[in-house]
Amino acid sequence: MNYVKPSAIRELLRLGADPEIISFGGGYPDASLFPLEQLNEVYQRAITEKGRDSLQYTVSNGTPRLREQIARRMNLDGIDCNADNVLVLQGGQQGLDLVSKMVVDRGDIIITESPTFLGALIAFNPYEPRYIDVEMDDDGMKMDDLERVLEQNPEAKLLYTVPDFQNPSGVTMSLERRKRLIELANEYDLIVLEDSPYRELRFSGEPVPPLKSMDTEGRVIFLGSFSKILAPGLRLGWAVASHELIQQLGLLKLAADTQCSTLNMSAVSLYLDTYDIDAHIASIRTAYRTKKDLMLETIRREFPASIRFTEPSGGMFTWLTFPEGFDAGAFMRQKAVPEGKVAYVPGAPFFPVNQRANHARVSYSTQSDAGIVKGIETLARLLKAAI
């Protein structure tokens, strides 16, 4: 429990929940994009047509039909797998817990990006790992820095990456770096945890193949999720990995919670059989692209030039870098929230090793167009006065 402390940003996010405040903080998807009517219909059918099965216990790795459907979608993304390589999870978040439970003993090294997903650190922490972080730039994790880290720490066990539209930075790892990462993972016998819940939310450029599609040694575990493409309240995600690793993770899943909700799995299977999820995802992409364009356009026009920001080609976040010495947490507490009624997530907690105060994660996913413009203009005005 010494490693399970309330996160410092919870308080700040609570401030952001005040309805008067324009919050760029939460990483929630836009609820107006949930396919409510279709989900209503498939939930009805899950009861009326398949009620006895939908309400019964099922296979702990997930219903065979849903695992097949997931495997098929993964095949289309270049990942060679079948239903036996799939474990249905209580959201991708459960995969972070189960993988660290499987792999990490106290003091083992987990290599992460710098910054990395805070929810992953929260999941890993109870297993008492030691973190070593690797520098990033606009092409993702830097491979020369990873190589240096591995030379110095060849006993490292697990490498965690969010290669597509990373939370928090919005950055995507280039193809060349993905190939190099796999070479290094093979050389140093690493398990690679590829966490990619935003992968399908690409709004410009060509998809870069998943690390899992380049894995010839069964060392990559891919985590996907229905949270950002359907709805997070379903709590459904999945892992794809070698048969051996899926069996082990399946045993841990059985011990943790027996299985995911049969009803939810049944409803999502019916949804995938009945509706065109790709058309639905295309509409989400369009909506986020429009919001991203508006936010970046406004940032470019209004912010002081000394503030850098990433240009995401998908997902929900841009990452701000303020001048050295600027404390984004203090600025939010003292200026942005009380004076401007605007919130974001200060960047420091996303660094597993050396926290840097001069960053912020800004999400465009849930704000209206007017909210985006007003919030960014207000922040810009306060920032100009402060910097």
- Residue closer to ligand PMP by CB (options 193, 373) is 193
Among 9, 16, 24, 27, binds ligand PMP (CB under 6 A): 27
Residue nearest to ligand PMP (CB): 91
Interaction of residue 115 with ligand PMP, rule CB under 6 A: no
Interaction of residue 366 with ligand PMP, rule CB under 6 A: no
- Residue closer to ligand PMP by CB (options 27, 170) is 27
Torsion angle in degrees (nearest 10) through CA of 350, 201, 29, 268: -120
- Residue closer to ligand PMP by CB (options 16, 92) is 92
The 3-state DSSP class for residue 247 equals: helix
**In the complex, minimum distance from the CB of residue 92 to ligand PMP, in angstroms, rounded to a whole number:** 3
Alpha-carbon distances, residue 138 vs 31, 85, 169 (angstroms): 29, 32, 9
- Residue closer to ligand PMP by CB (options 231, 382) is 231
From CA 238, how far away is CA 251, in angstroms rounded?
Answer: 15
CB proximity list for 15: less than 8 A, separation 6 or greater: 21, 337, 343
Residue the block writes with tokens 């909506």:
287
**In the complex, minimum distance from the CB of residue 28 to ligand PMP, in angstroms, rounded to a whole number:** 8
**In the complex, minimum distance from the CB of residue 27 to ligand PMP, in angstroms, rounded to a whole number:** 5
Report yes or no: 111 and 192 within 8 Å, Cβ to Cβ.
no
**In the complex, minimum distance from the CB of residue 340 to ligand PMP, in angstroms, rounded to a whole number:** 25
What are the beta bridge partners of residue 320? 309, 360
- Residue closer to ligand PMP by CB (options 118, 332) is 118
What are the beta bridge partners of residue 225? 237
Among 163, 197, 312, 314, binds ligand PMP (CB under 6 A): 197
Q: Count residues near ligand PMP (CB under 6 A).
A: 14
Report yes or no: 69 and 269 within 8 Å, Cβ to Cβ.
yes
- Residue closer to ligand PMP by CB (options 201, 383) is 201
**In the complex, minimum distance from the CB of residue 94 to ligand PMP, in angstroms, rounded to a whole number:** 7
**In the complex, minimum distance from the CB of residue 272 to ligand PMP, in angstroms, rounded to a whole number:** 17
CA 97 to chain centre: 14
64-103 positions binding ligand PMP, by CB under 6 A: 91-93
| Alpha-helical regions (H) of 87-201 | 91-103, 118-124, 143-152, 175-188
Interaction of residue 162 with ligand PMP, rule CB under 6 A: yes
Binding mask 176-195 for ligand PMP (x = CB under 6 A): -------------------x
| Alpha-helical regions (H) of the chain | 8-16, 36-48, 51-54, 64-76, 91-103, 118-124, 143-152, 175-188, 243-257, 262-274, 277-302, 328-331, 369-386
- Residue closer to ligand PMP by CB (options 239, 348) is 239
201-240 positions binding ligand PMP, by CB under 6 A: 225, 227, 232, 237
Interaction of residue 340 with ligand PMP, rule CB under 6 A: no
Query: What does the block give as tokens for 70?
Result: 């997931």
Binding site for ligand PMP (CB under 6 A): 27, 91-93, 117, 119, 162, 167, 195, 197, 225, 227, 232, 237
